[in-house]
Structure 1
Amino acid sequence: MVGGMTCAACVGRVEKKLNRLEGVSATVNLATGRARIDHPVSLPLEKLVATVERAGFTASLPEPASPSNAHVAPPAGGPDSPTPREGTRDPAWDRLMVTLLLSAPVLVLSMVPAWQFRNWQWLCLTLAAPVAAWSAWPFHQRALRGLRHGEATMDTLVSLGVAASFSWSCYALFGGGAGVPGMTMPFSLLPESGGTAHIYLEAAVAVPLFVLTGRMLESRARHRTGSALSSLAELAAKDALVSVNGNERRIPIGDLQVGDHFLVRPGERVATDGTVVEGNSALDLSLITGESRPVEAGPGTRVVGGALNSGGLLQVRASVVGAETQLARITRLVEEAQTGKTKVQRLADSVAAVFVPAVLTVSVTVLGFWLGAGAAAQSAVTAAVAVLVVACPCALGLATPTALLAATGRGAQLGILVSGPRALESLRRVDTVVLDKTGTLTTGRMSVLGITTADGGDAVTSVRLAASVERASTHPLAAAITAHAVGLEAQPLARATDFTEVPGQAVQANVEGRLVEVGRPVDEESLPGTLRDAVRTAGKEGRSAVLVTVDGIPDSVISLGDALRSDTYRAVDRLRRLGLDPVMATGDSEATARAVAGQLGITDVHAAVRPEDKAALVKRLKEEGRQVAVVGDGVNDAAALAEADLGIAMSSGADAAIGAADITLTREDIQTLPDAVHLARQTLGTIRINLLWAFGYNLVTVPLAAVGLLNPMFAAAAMSASSLLVVCNSLRLRTWSPATGGRAHQPSRLNTGFQETE
Structure 2
Amino acid sequence: MSLQENTETISLPVLGMTCAGCAVSVESMIAAQEGVVQAEVNYATQKVKVVYDPKVVTTEDMQKAVQGVGYDLIIDAEKGDEKQKEVQENNYKSLKNRILAAAILTVPVVVIGMFFMDMPYGNYIMMLLTAPVVFYFGKNFFINAFKQAKHQKANMDTLVALSTGIAFIFSLFNTFYPEFWHERGLHPHVYYEAAAVVIVFIMLGKLLEERAKSNTSSAIKKLIGLQPKTVIRIADDGEHEIAILDVKKGDRLLVRSGDKIPVDGRVYEGSSFVDESMITGEPVAVAKQKDDAVFAGTINQKGSFRFVAEKVGGETMLAQIIQLVQDAQGSKAPVQKLVDKIAGIFVPVVMLIAIVTLAIWMLFGGEHAFTQGLLAMVTVLVIACPCALGLATPTAIMVGIGKGAENGILIKDAEALEQAYKVNAIVLDKTGTITEGKPKVTSIKWAHQLPEEQVLLERVFAAMEQNSEHPLAEAIYADFKQYGIDTVSVTDFESLTGKGVLAKYNGKSYWAGSHKILKDIGQVISDDLLQHAKALQARAQTVIYFADQQAVLAVVAIADQVKISSKAAVAELKSLGIEVYMLTGDNEETASAVARQTGIAHFKAEVLPSDKADFIKKLQDEGKVVAMIGDGINDSQALAQSDVSIAMGKGSDIAIDVAKVTLVSSDLLQVPKALQLSRLTVKAIRQNLFWAFIYNLIGIPIAAGILYPFNGFLLNPMIAGAAMALSSVSVVSNSLRLKLAKLN
Q: TM-score, normalised by structure 1?
A: 0.60
Residue 386 (1) aligns with residue 379 (2): yes
SS in 2 for 1:201: coil
Shift of 1:552: 4.0
Residue 361 (1) aligns with residue 352 (2): yes
- In 1, Cα distance between equivalents of 2:111 and 2:657: 58
Structure 2 residue corresponding to 1:448, chosen from 435, 438, 441: 441
SS in 2 for 1:202: coil
Structure 2 residue corresponding to 1:466, chosen from 461, 465, 482: 461
Q: Deviations over 1:91-132 (max 9, x none)?
A: x877777788789778767x55xx89xxx9xx9689869968
Q: What are the within-5 Å matches in structure 2 for residues 477-556 of structure 1?
A: 480-482=475-477, 484-486=479-481, 488-497=483-492, 510-512=504-506, 516=510, 518=512, 520=515, 527=526, 529=528, 531=529, 534-549=532-547, 552=550, 555-556=553-554
Question: What is the letter of the counterpart of residue 691 of structure 1?
Answer: L
Q: Deviations over 1:18-60 (max 9, x none)?
A: 554445646698xx9x9543323656443344224322x3646
**Relative to 1, partners in 2 of residues 1:443 and 1:478: Cα closer, same or farther, differing over 3 Å?**
same
Residue of structure 2 equivalent to 1:266: none
Structure 1 residue corresponding to 2:74, chosen from 54, 61, 83: 61
Q: Deviations over 1:353-394 (max 9, x none)?
A: 222221122223333445555565344433332111111235
Shift of 1:701: 2.3
Shift of 1:348: 2.3
**Unaligned regions of 5+ residues in structure 2, if any?**
1-12, 226-242, 248-252, 254-258, 263-319, 707-712
- In 2, Cα distance between equivalents of 1:498 and 1:126: 86
Residue 342 (1) aligns with residue 356 (2): no
Moved more, 585-594 or 96-105: 96-105
- In 2, Cα distance between equivalents of 1:10 and 1:502: 59
**Relative to 1, partners in 2 of residues 1:8 and 1:354: Cα closer, same or farther, differing over 3 Å?**
farther
Structure 2 residue corresponding to 1:198, chosen from 186, 191, 207: 186
**Relative to 1, partners in 2 of residues 1:662 and 1:370: Cα closer, same or farther, differing over 3 Å?**
same
Residue of structure 1 equivalent to 2:10: none
**Relative to 1, partners in 2 of residues 1:345 and 1:616: Cα closer, same or farther, differing over 3 Å?**
closer
**Relative to 1, partners in 2 of residues 1:342 and 1:642: Cα closer, same or farther, differing over 3 Å?**
closer
Residues 430 and 584 in structure 2, CA contact (< 8 A), matched pair in contact too: yes
Shift of 1:443: 5.7
**Relative to 1, partners in 2 of residues 1:16 and 1:660: Cα closer, same or farther, differing over 3 Å?**
same
**Relative to 1, partners in 2 of residues 1:441 and 1:206: Cα closer, same or farther, differing over 3 Å?**
closer
**Relative to 1, partners in 2 of residues 1:592 and 1:704: Cα closer, same or farther, differing over 3 Å?**
same
Question: What is the letter of the counterpart of residue 342 of structure 1?
Answer: A
Q: Deviations over 1:485-528 (max 9, x none)?
A: 45554212431459797996x87654246554546489999737
Residue of structure 2 equivalent to 1:50: 64
Residues 328 and 640 in structure 2, CA contact (< 8 A), matched pair in contact too: no
- In 1, Cα distance between equivalents of 2:642 and 2:720: 48
Residue 211 (1) aligns with residue 198 (2): yes
Residues 342 and 421 in structure 1, CA contact (< 8 A), matched pair in contact too: no
Residues 20 and 337 in structure 2, CA contact (< 8 A), matched pair in contact too: no
Residue of structure 2 equivalent to 1:38: 49
Shift of 1:349: 1.7
Question: What is the letter of the counterpart of residue 481 of structure 1?
Answer: I
- In 2, Cα distance between equivalents of 1:676 and 1:65: 41
Which structure dedicates a bigger proportion of its chain to helix? 2
Question: What is the letter of the counterpart of residue 188 of structure 2?
Answer: Y
- In 2, Cα distance between equivalents of 1:603 and 1:344: 33
Residue 601 (1) aligns with residue 599 (2): yes
- In 2, Cα distance between equivalents of 1:214 and 1:610: 47
Residue of structure 1 equivalent to 2:579: 581
Question: What is the letter of the counterpart of residue 505 of structure 2?
Answer: V
Aligned length: 641
Cα RMSD of the aligned pairs, angstroms, is: 7.0
Shift of 1:568: 4.6
Question: What is the letter of the counterpart of residue 581 of structure 1?
Answer: E
SS in 1 for 2:190: helix
- In 2, Cα distance between equivalents of 1:222 and 1:610: 35
- In 2, Cα distance between equivalents of 1:425 and 1:166: 41
Q: Deviations over 1:667-708 (max 9, x none)?
A: 894659838767766775565455344433322322332335
Residue of structure 2 equivalent to 1:434: 427
Residues 583 and 607 in structure 2, CA contact (< 8 A), matched pair in contact too: yes
- In 1, Cα distance between equivalents of 2:526 and 2:638: 45
Q: Deviations over 1:690-739 (max 9, x none)?
A: 53444333223223323356421232344456568778988999x99996
Q: Deviations over 1:239-271 (max 9, x none)?
A: xxxxxxxxxxxxxxx9xx999xxxxxxxxxxxx
Shift of 1:468: 3.8
Structure 2 residue corresponding to 1:715, chosen from 720, 724, 730: 720
- In 2, Cα distance between equivalents of 1:550 and 1:588: 31
SS in 2 for 1:39: strand
**Relative to 1, partners in 2 of residues 1:365 and 1:597: Cα closer, same or farther, differing over 3 Å?**
same
- In 2, Cα distance between equivalents of 1:3 and 1:71: 7
- In 2, Cα distance between equivalents of 1:434 and 1:671: 12
Shift of 1:436: 4.2
Residues 630 and 644 in structure 1, CA contact (< 8 A), matched pair in contact too: yes
Residue 162 (1) aligns with residue 167 (2): yes
- In 2, Cα distance between equivalents of 1:605 and 1:545: 24
- In 2, Cα distance between equivalents of 1:618 and 1:354: 36
- In 1, Cα distance between equivalents of 2:644 and 2:217: 28
**Relative to 1, partners in 2 of residues 1:346 and 1:385: Cα closer, same or farther, differing over 3 Å?**
same
Structure 2 residue corresponding to 1:178, chosen from 182, 188, 200: 182
**Relative to 1, partners in 2 of residues 1:476 and 1:374: Cα closer, same or farther, differing over 3 Å?**
closer
Q: Which has the higher contact order (CA 8 A, sep 6+)?
A: 1
- In 2, Cα distance between equivalents of 1:404 and 1:102: 29
Shift of 1:546: 3.9
**Relative to 1, partners in 2 of residues 1:544 and 1:643: Cα closer, same or farther, differing over 3 Å?**
same
Residue of structure 2 equivalent to 1:695: 693
Q: What are the within-5 Å matches in structure 2 for residues 616-695 of structure 1?
A: 621=619, 625-629=623-627, 669=666, 671=668, 674=671, 687-695=685-693
Percent identity over the alignment is: 30
**Unaligned regions of 5+ residues in structure 1, if any?**
85-89, 180-195, 238-253, 260-271, 276-328, 742-758
- In 1, Cα distance between equivalents of 2:422 and 2:145: 42
